[in-house]
Every structure is written in C-alpha cells, then in structure tokens.
Amino acid sequence: MSSWSSWLAERSADVTSSHRVQLALTAIVAAGLGVSAVIGLQNARQWYNIHDLKDTIPDLDSPHDVEKINNFGGAESEDGGEHRDDERSAALARRARLGDYDESLILEQLARNRVFLTDDGLAKLRKAFVIVVGCGGVGSHATAALARSGCGRLRLIDFDQLTLSSLNRHAVATLADVGTPKVDCLRKRLEQVVPWTHFDCRNQLFGGKTAEDQLAPWADGQKPDYVIDAIDNIDSKVALLLYCHRNGIKVVSSMGAGCKSDPTRVFIGDISASAEDPLSRATRRKLRLRGVKDGIPVVFSSEKTGPGKAQLLPLPEDEFTKGSVNELGVLPDFRVRILPVLGTMPAVFGLCVANHVMLELTGYPHDYLPSKAREKMYDGVLAQIQGLEERVAKHYGFETVSLRIPVTADDVGYLIEEVWKGRSVVSGLASRLALTRWRKPADNWIDTSTPGQRADRLQLADLVCLTKDEMLRHEKEVLKEGKAPEDLYDPKVVELVERRMREERAFRAQR
C-alpha cells in the first residue's frame, strides 16, 4: 500500500512540474510573438512612411512648376511666403529662447562636446557671445560649427546676399535661399538645428566708422568674447583687425582660401608667420603701417602656386578699354575679378577658425605655430644701415658723430618681409640680408639745421634688400662712385625695384 502511494505521489509531482514547464514555454512564446509583432509594426510603419515620401516625388514626365523661380534664380514657394516647416522652426526657436525647451534634450544633443570639453568647458561655450563678420563660405561654416557645438549667442554681420555661385561653398544655403541676405539664411537654417541659440543678424557692410556699433555688447551688456574675421575685402578686414587690436577684443582672422587646394597646408598661427598668401601679405602690410605687426591669430595656407594650379581670372581686355574698371564691382574697392574657389577649402578654413575659438573660450590646451622670431636679425640689419649711412656720409665729407637715421627695427621688418618678400632683389637669396639705398644720396641728405644734431633724411622708399656681399659692392660702385643702378644691374632687376617702390609709395599714401 505504501509503495502504491509513493508511485501516485511521484506521478502527481511530474504532472505539476510538466504544467509549470508548459506555462513557462507558453509565456516565452507569447513574449516572442509580442516582440515580433512590435518590430513588424515598426517596420511596416517605416516602409509606409518611406513610400509615402517617395510618392511625393514627381516622375520626370509629371507636370512641374520649375519655371516658378525668383529673380535671383531661387526656388519660390507657392504662396510666396516662408515654407510651413520654416514657420514651425521659427516658432519653436522663439519658445526655446524664452526657456520653453527641455534642458536634458540640449545636453543630449551636445553630449559629445560635453564629454570632450567637460561640463565646465561646455558651460563657458554656452554662455559665450561670438561675432562673425562675413557670412560667406568661411563664415557660414564657422557659424554652423559654433552653433552646433553649443555657442549661446551669435551676432552675424554681412551686407551681401546669396547667389547661385555661393552654393558650392556655403554651409547651409539651399536654392530657395538664393537672393536672400546671408545672415538671415544662416539664422533660419541653424534655428532648425539649435533653436535655443540666440542670433543677432545685421545685414550691414562692416566698416571702421560703424565698428563701435557693430561690435558693441549684447543688449544685456555682455561684451563679445571673440570676433571671427571672415571678410575678403582688405580695407574692411584691416579696419576690423585694427579695432579689435586697439580695443582689446579677441579676434581670429581667416586669410584667403581662394586658389588653394591642399588642406594639409592649412595652419593656425600668428599673422607674422603667415606666408604664400596675397590676402595675408596685403593685410600684414597695411597693419604694419599702422603699428601692428603681430599678436593676431590667423588661419592661412602655406600652399604655393604653380603650373596647372588655379589663378585669379583676369578681366577681359575689352573691360579695361572701356575705362572705369572700379565701377564693375558691387561696392568700391571690392574685387571685380572672379576668384577660383574649390568648395571644400572655405569649409576647412571656417572649421579651423571655429575650432580655435572653441578651444580658446573653453580653455582647452592648444599651441600656436611659432612665429619667425627674426627680431634679432632686424636689429642687426638696423645697425648695418646705421653703419652704412655713416660710411657714406664720411665719404662725402659730413661729420658722422650723432648722426641719426629715421628707421626703426619695425621698419626693417616691414621692408624685408612685406616689401621685398624676404629675398635679395638682385639674386633672390634669402640669407645674410641687408638694406641699402638704391641710388646715390642727394646733395642735401644730411640735415644740420639743429645745433649738435645731424639727421639723415633717409626714406623707407629709398631702401632695397640685398645680401651683405651685394650690399658692399653696391656701396662701392653706386653710393660712393656714383654709378646708376641701370648701369650695374639687369633691366629686369631695375624694373622690379621700381615696381616695388611704386607699390610702397601707394601703400604709405593710404596711412
């Protein structure tokens, strides 16, 4: 009897265990079916959404309104106003700037910058006020990068409108934006990405007379933390850099991206170190004339021109024969020739500028390229000029005690680097350089009108760059024996000297 009872108990336990196993298996199968159903539903929705989107794209033979474009070549909406998405984005941005936006969403969007810059660095960037002057290829990419990285306040300054030719290098412009102000295009497109960012758009031409207002503090009194110079007009560029330098405003300047194609030769360094860039050279030259030789970080390319590379396209000859070439420009002093631009290079420059500003604002470690550090050489050349002038004066019977020359070490640096491009005008050599008068001095070149003082009437435009050996020969045959340079040098050398001297006089006349 006991064995029968034991057998029944064992069978009852097996049945109970089997029932639990069945329930567990049923639950697992049901969960699997539920997950499959959810995934299937999501895939179905995605499939229908994609096909709905594709159905909105007309076939090539379908009726279309391609002729509906504006006078500038941009697409025109049916009602002539903003697209509904733009209206919704603008409304969202207005609410977000008033605080109606989830902070956790902002931090999630900026998560990669947050872990890189740390919470403290990101907080500094979000509180920063940056001004971008020039919103074309370089400026648009710099602005977009700063906005996407969390910069809180951006003032955009540019007088120009988008053209069809802008679309090969602009960061966010579409065909629909052609004919609209560049500053408004940037704001409208970036509000769709970072609606909480505050924009102050100024559709204005930057100039020295308007600098105080255009670079003024934000409405609540916050001063600009950084200014980005993305201007391609030399006079406006110099005016901006001078104002920032004299008023202690941090600024970084983009040099020329036109005719450049090698991104490995783009550097960030002091303006005194920039080379092989006509825009940089002209900017440095004008700044030196106004007493600024360094202390401004710039983005520049060391790429040299060469056979087969892009060049500045000249105006057709018939335009010159008509006269008044300046009238062909949009504004006075703006270029009237077509500058070849590979669309990627302004982006490289703009991103380098934005990267530099972000590192500076957040205190992230970074270093400049070393400058030329040629101050000692300039001091040596200055002493050489003094000695040369004394020897020549003594040769002509002048007393050389207390002879003073109106040249400084800064003048020497300006002449060697900017006027004579760091090379001897005769041989093209770049070592053991010296400066000397080009022609024999006039009869009244020593001023003795002040008792006890002898002043040399030497002018910067009188000096040329030679090697020291060439200078000694020039001193003997031209300055002392009275030969004309035309009798001593090749006509090409003489023509080069005269051309450089004319350029120097023209630059100095603009001071």
Q: Give first-to-last CA distance, the chain, whole Å.
A: 124
pLDDT of 334 reads: 43
As a whole number, mean pLDDT of residues 463-473 equals 95
pTM over the 0.75 mark = no
Among 41-50, 196-205, 335-344, the range scoring the smallest mean pLDDT is 41-50
Give the chain's length.
511
Instruction: Name, in order, each residue with C-beta under 8 angstroms of 455's C-beta and a sequence gap of 6 or more.
Output: 403, 404, 406, 446, 447
Q: What is the pLDDT of residues 227-264, one digit of tens each?
A: 999 998 888 999 999 999 999 999 999 998 888 888 98
- Of 192, 197, 193, nearest to 109 (Cα)? 193
**Which tokens is 506 given?**
């023209």
Q: Which span out of 365-374, 408-417, 443-452 was modeled with the highest average pLDDT?
A: 408-417
Exposed, middle or buried: residue 373 (CB in 10 Å: 0-12, 13-18, 19+)?
exposed
**Residues 223, 229, 230, 235: what is their CA dihedral angle, to the nearest 10 degrees?**
120
| CA–CA distance, 262 with 281 (Å, rounded to integer) | 19
Mean pLDDT confidence for 276-304: 84
On the question of pLDDT at 35 being above 80, the answer is no
How far apart CA 304 and CA 327 sit, in angstroms, is 31
Mean pLDDT score, 478-495: 94
Which pLDDT score is estimated for 325?
A: 41
* Domain extent listing, the chain: 84-309+341-362, 375-509
Token pair 């990669």 in the structure block, residue: 112
- What whole-number distance in Å separates Cα of residue 152 and Cα of residue 146? 9
Would you state the pLDDT for residue 99? 76
Contact, 230 vs 254, CB < 8 A? yes
Between 479 and 14, whose confidence is greater? 479
Question: Measured between alpha carbons, how far is 405 from 411 in angstroms, rounded to an integer?
Answer: 12
Per-residue pLDDT band for 473 (boundaries 50, 70, 90) equals: very high
Q: Cα-flanking dihedrals φ and ψ of residue 440, to 5°?
A: -60, 135
pLDDT tens, residue by residue, 113-170: 999 999 999 999 999 999 999 999 999 999 999 999 999 999 999 999 999 989 999 9
- Environment class of residue 439 by beta-carbon count within 10 Å: exposed (0-12), middle (13-18) or buried (19+)? middle
The CATH number that domain 84-309+341-362 falls under is: 3.40.50.720
What is the three-class DSSP state of 301? strand
pLDDT in tens, 291-336: 888 889 999 888 877 677 877 655 454 544 444 444 334 344 444 4
